[in-house]
């Protein structure tokens, strides 16, 4: 099927790689014109070129830069039909964090297999610095809010639009050792429900995606823990980027015209209730 997003203008944050980039590809195939945002200018430009769209480099946690980005979209296009708040990170290149995420679950499973008890502890919260906690909340939760606020200034004027916020199963099921990430993602789901109620009278829908473990650069550092994650996933695998991109196409499109305030969670069965 093609043309599901025909004529729509979509801004996708963090679309220089991974899930955002694949959404950009599928959105374009379905007829949307894409504005590709990323912190990394080169990455944004490369994807924009691929999807015949345009690129805006901006850090979504910088509210002034976000306001400038939406002002540019308004100037250049005069409308905004789809906003996907996807920008995010997990480990931020912290090798110590990556090491612990790989080694500790492996040790814990070995201790359990040997009859327990588990004596290796995650102990992540007690070593999380203010700076790393705040950066996580800043990019994910504050960034999503800044983009919603500026995007809605355009959508409110139109009395139409579809916003998609990127949560995670970490924000629904939780996940040990990633308090800031889980808190930020859970906050995004709450923000989604509140905004959905607020803007429903304007014909604007606000939904969230809560992916399970998907193969992207974000999950590349946790390969040692991969067998345990796959073992806990009824489908027995990580997802691919299309598992999320097609869900995004649906929620962004008019096919989802009766859907708002929802969290759609493609996760291979890892987490079945919300």
Ligand X SMILES: NC(=O)c1ccc[n+]([C@@H]2O[C@H](COP(=O)([O-])OP(=O)(O)OC[C@H]3O[C@@H](n4cnc5c(N)ncnc54)[C@H](O)[C@@H]3O)[C@@H](O)[C@H]2O)c1
Among 211, 221, 266, 268, binds ligand X (CB under 6 A): 211
The arrangement of strands across the sheet holding 33-38 comes to 54-57, 33-38, 9-12, 82-85, 161-166, 204-209, 263-264
- The first and second tokens of residue 173, run together, are 């099921």
Among 59, 68, 111, 242, binds ligand X (CB under 6 A): 59
CA 215, 142, 192, 195 torsion: positive or negative? Answer: negative
Q: Where are the alpha helices (DSSP H) in 57-174?
A: 63-77, 95-113, 130-137, 143-158, 169-172
Nearer to ligand X, 28 or 219 (CB): 219
Q: Does 270 participate in catalysis according to the annotation?
A: no
Footprint of ligand X on residues 107-146 (CB under 6 A)? 139, 143
Rounded to the nearest angstrom, the gap between the alpha carbon of residue 30 and the centroid of all alpha carbons in its chain is 20
Q: Quick one: which of 8, 20, 162, 245 contacts ligand X (CB under 6 A)?
A: 20
CA–CA gap between residue 15 and residue 218 (Å, rounded) = 13
- For position 213 contacting ligand X by CB under 6 A, the verdict is yes
Q: Is 163 in the site for ligand X (CB under 6 A)?
A: no
- List strand residue ranges (DSSP E) for the chain, in order: 9-12, 33-38, 54-57, 82-85, 161-166, 204-209, 263-264
Of positions 28, 54, 86, 108, contacts ligand X by CB under 6 A: 86
- Total chain residues near ligand X (CB under 6 A): 30
| Out of 3, 40, 76, 240, the residue judged to bind ligand X by CB under 6 A | 40
Q: Which stretch binds ligand X (CB under 6 A): 172-180, 190-198, 217-225, 227-235?
A: 217-225
CB of 139 to ligand X, least distance (A): 4
Least distance (Å) between residue 149 CB and ligand X: 16
Q: What six digits make up the tokens of 70? A: 């939406």
Q: Which residues are CB-contacts of 113 (< 8 A; sequence separation ≥ 6)?
A: none
DSSP secondary structure letter of residue 204: E
Q: How far is the CB of 89 from ligand X (least distance, A)?
A: 5
> Would you count residue 55 as binding ligand X (CB under 6 A)?
no
Is residue 43 at the binding interface for ligand X, with CB under 6 A as the rule? yes
Stretch that binds ligand X, among 84-92, 114-122, 195-203, 246-254 (CB under 6 A): 84-92
- Identify the CA nearest to 163 among candidates 248, 65, 48, 264: 248
CA dihedral angle for residue 7, residue 13, residue 15, residue 21, rounded to 10 degrees:
-50
Q: Does 189 bind ligand X (CB under 6 A)?
A: no
- Interface residues with ligand X (CB under 6 A) are 13-14, 16-20, 37-40, 43, 59-61, 86-89, 139, 143, 166, 168, 211, 213-214, 216-219
Catalytic residues: 181
């Amino acid at each position: 099927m093609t043309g599901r997003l025909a004529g729509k203008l979509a801004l996708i944050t963090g679309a220089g790689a991974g899930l955002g980039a694949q959404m950009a590809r599928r959105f374009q195939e379905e007829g949307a014109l894409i504005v590709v945002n990323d912190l990394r200018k080169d990455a944004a430009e490369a994807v924009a070129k691929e999807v015949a769209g345009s690129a805006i480099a901006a850090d979504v946690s910088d509210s002034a830069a976000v306001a400038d980005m939406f002002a540019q979209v308004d100037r250049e296009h005069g409308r905004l039909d789809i906003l996907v708040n996807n920008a995010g990170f997990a480990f931020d290149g912290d090798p110590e964090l990556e090491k612990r995420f790989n080694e500790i679950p492996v040790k814990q499973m070995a201790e359990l297999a040997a009859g327990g008890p588990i004596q290796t502890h995650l102990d992540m919260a007690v070593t999380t610095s203010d700076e790393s906690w705040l950066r996580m909340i800043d990019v994910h939760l504050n960034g999503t809010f800044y983009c919603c606020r500026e995007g809605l200034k355009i959508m409110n004027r139109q009395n139409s639009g579809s916003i998609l916020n990127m949560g995670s199963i970490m924000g629904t099921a939780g996940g040990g050792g990633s308090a800031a990430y889980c808190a930020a993602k859970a906050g995004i789901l709450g923000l989604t429900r509140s905004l959905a109620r607020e803007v429903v009278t304007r014909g604007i829908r606000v939904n969230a995606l809560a992916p399970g473990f998907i193969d992207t650069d974000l999950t590349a550092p946790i390969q040692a823990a991969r067998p345990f994650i796959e073992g806990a996933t009824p489908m027995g695998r990580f997802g691919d980027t299309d598992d999320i991109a097609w869900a995004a196409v649906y929620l962004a499109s008019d096919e989802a015209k009766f859907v708002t305030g929802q969290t759609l969670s493609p996760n291979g069965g890892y987490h079945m209730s919300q």
